[in-house]
Amino acid sequence: MDDNGRLLRFRAHHAEKLLARGDGVAATVRRPEALDDLTSQYGESLWIATLDVSNDGAVRPVVDAAFGAMGRIDVVVSNAGYGLFGAAEEVSDEQIRHQINTNLIGSIQVIRAALPHMRAQGGGRILQLSSEGGQIAYPNFSLYHATKWGIEGFIEAVSQEVAPFGIEFIIAEPGPARTDFGRGLVAPQPMEVYDATPAGEIRRAIADGRFEAKGDPVKMAQAMIEAAEQYSAPKRLALGTGSYASIRKALVERLTELDAFKEVTMSADVD
């Protein structure tokens, strides 16, 4: 997923809803022209900068400039992303690095750059767009899942570090949504050996439209905005019936397995 995929759709929906009710928005995109319609409609209420979060050195200056331009930013939405689709041994080293640099390191750097400003202003919230794929996993998305599980673990720790400063996190976990997700995926040359495996089945399901997407991106964006404005916001917000069912099933299975091996687990301490 790059700027023509699911994440731009969520970004545009977020921005449009906030601007329509009179809020100021600072947006960073890889292609500024993607928000031309909003710029012409809302003018100075929308501040835009070009940013590729996979470029480490560019993140902090742009985030600093955004806070400088807006004065105060109550909610930072971190939603840059890239979708790499292929079995683990099919993808290239370069694709792996780009996946991790964008989804994981890029998201980490955005959060790190925002923290000093939020401390100085007495708090705020950071909404990180993850995915149901931060709690579950599908074949062919191993590197994508590595970054989503990774950023969720990072936030679990950082949220404890900055809670005394009034900084809170929300991890949004949308399920499959009706966006351009499939067309935005980056896929290496498939290996024939995986045709008759779960990886091959997922590849065919996405290609022929059997990978069901029930989520409404407009409703999901609205749910994220409303969660960010609640006095007591959830740390994780699953979005869509598919996300709820998949995450709940995975959590129950993990808990069942944990309890099944409790005796072995408890025996591993020092006597």
Q: Tell me which residues are annotated as active site.
A: 130, 144, 148
Q: Are 25 and 15 in contact (CB under 8 A)?
A: yes
SS3 assignment for 171-218: EEEECCECCCHHHHCECCCCCHHHCCCHHHHHHHHHHCCCCCCCECHH
Token pair 């709820």 is at which residue? Answer: 244
38-41's contacts with Cβ under 8 Å and 24+ in sequence apart are 38/12
Angle at 147 between CA 18 and CA 87, to 5 degrees: 125
At 216, which amino acid appears?
D
Nearest residue to 97 via CA among 63, 46, 56: 56
Nearest residue to 87 via CA among 187, 208, 211: 187
Contacts of 79 (CB under 8 A, 6+ apart): 7, 10, 11, 128, 129
Q: 6-35: string of b/e by CB count within 10 Å (b at 16+)?
A: bbbbbbbbbbbbbbeeeebbbbbbeeeebb
**56 three-state secondary structure:** helix
Q: How far apart are CA 162 and CA 125, in angstroms?
A: 11
